Amino acid sequence: MDHHPWTAADLPVLRGRTALVTGATSGVGLATAGALAQAGAHVVLGVRDTERGRAVAATMSGSTEVRRLDLADLASVRDFTQSWSGPLDLLINNAGVAGGRGAVTRDGFDLQFGTNHLGHFALTNLLLPHVIDRVVTLASGAHRAGDIHFQDLALRTRRYSLAETYGQSKLANLLFTLDLERRLRGSGSEVRSLASHPGYSATNLGIKGRSKPLVATVNLAGRLLAQTSQQGALPTLFAATQDLPGASYVGPDGRWELHGSPALVGRSAKASDPALATRLWEVSEELTGVRFGLDLQ
């Protein structure tokens, strides 16, 4: 049987469907939004910088809309969700940042944990009454270096490590995917919660306040080893459109999951721990003041 690698050309026709992609102005988010729009979906770009968002949307074929959304500011997340009307087929929690020591969100959370996890946690739950198909949250192989430091989520009392801080936020993305799926099943919803990771792609993930030689090395390695953003978007597009079980995790099938065709991939034991996922969910509700979106209001 001839088995060709799955590409964006294999996307189903998405006419009449609406998708929201966070962090859609560059990298994998931009490629994801572009491919969904080309397949016929109406794509909403949730972006911090609307001027840049409009410039990017102008390069896409298909139906697009740009709306301001700053995941590092819970007030912005609430404004965005309160102005949402109509059904949302696909919510793609793509945005991700990597910041230096002491970088915080508007609400005082560690920048990575606050943006990558808590911002998406609040966004998803506040939009959930509108979502009709699935939520795809972007994680990373970096989740394996992560641990959830409940006593010190901003990692202020430990020696600062970008890998550990970013890893914590990406582990949180997978635990969120897991507990969201459990809650959706418990509420009788048809919506599915899945996760994806892009492998190693050349993106503009900001490494702020790092030494120039390190950034130069990372950038050089990126150019030599990375796939394109279009390839990096494939696991997300696959997770968003193929018939997969809830809580599935999709990544590239190549060596070390750095590149390749989209396939179901493994995750760390911590990322599969339902008790840890539920504990993180409860802490996230306390920190954001946002509860599970389908609980009776």
pLDDT in tens, 3-51: 688 999 999 999 999 999 999 999 999 999 999 999 999 999 999 999 9
* pLDDT cut 90: percent of the chain above it: 72
Examine the pLDDT at 224 and tell me if it is beyond 60: no
Determine how many CB atoms are found less than 10 A away from the CB of residue 278: 15
pLDDT interval class at 88 (50, 70, 90): very high
Nearest one of 24, 219, 286 to 138, comparing CA atoms: 24
Q: Is 160 a catalytic residue?
A: no
Once rounded to an integer, what is the mean pLDDT over residues 220-249? 85
Is residue 152 within 8 Å of residue 164, measured between CB atoms? no
Examine the pLDDT at 279 and tell me if it is beyond 60: yes
Superfamily of segment(s) 10-287:
NAD(P)-binding Rossmann-like Domain (3.40.50.720)
Once rounded to an integer, what is the mean pLDDT over residues 219-224? 54
CA dihedral 232, 92, 265, 243 (to 10 degrees): -110
pLDDT interval class at 210 (50, 70, 90): very low
pLDDT interval class at 102 (50, 70, 90): confident
Once rounded to an integer, what is the mean pLDDT over residues 178-202? 92
pLDDT digits (tens, 9 = 90+) for 164-179: 888 999 999 999 999 9
Tokens 């597009």 sit on residue: 237
Q: What are phi and psi of 124, to 5 degrees?
A: -60, -50
- Is the C-alpha dihedral spanning 149, 153, 158, 164 positive or negative? positive
Mean pLDDT over all residues of the chain? 89
d(CA 88, CA 144) in angstroms, rounded, equals 31
Examine the pLDDT at 217 and tell me if it is beyond 80: no
CA dihedral 255, 260, 264, 266 (to 10 degrees): 30
Is residue 18 within 8 Å of residue 87, measured between CB atoms? yes
Domain segments of the chain as ranges: 10-287
Q: What is the pLDDT of residue 201?
A: 56
pLDDT digits (tens, 9 = 90+) for 120-152: 999 999 999 999 999 999 998 889 888 899 988
Is residue 95 within 8 Å of residue 71, measured between CB atoms? yes
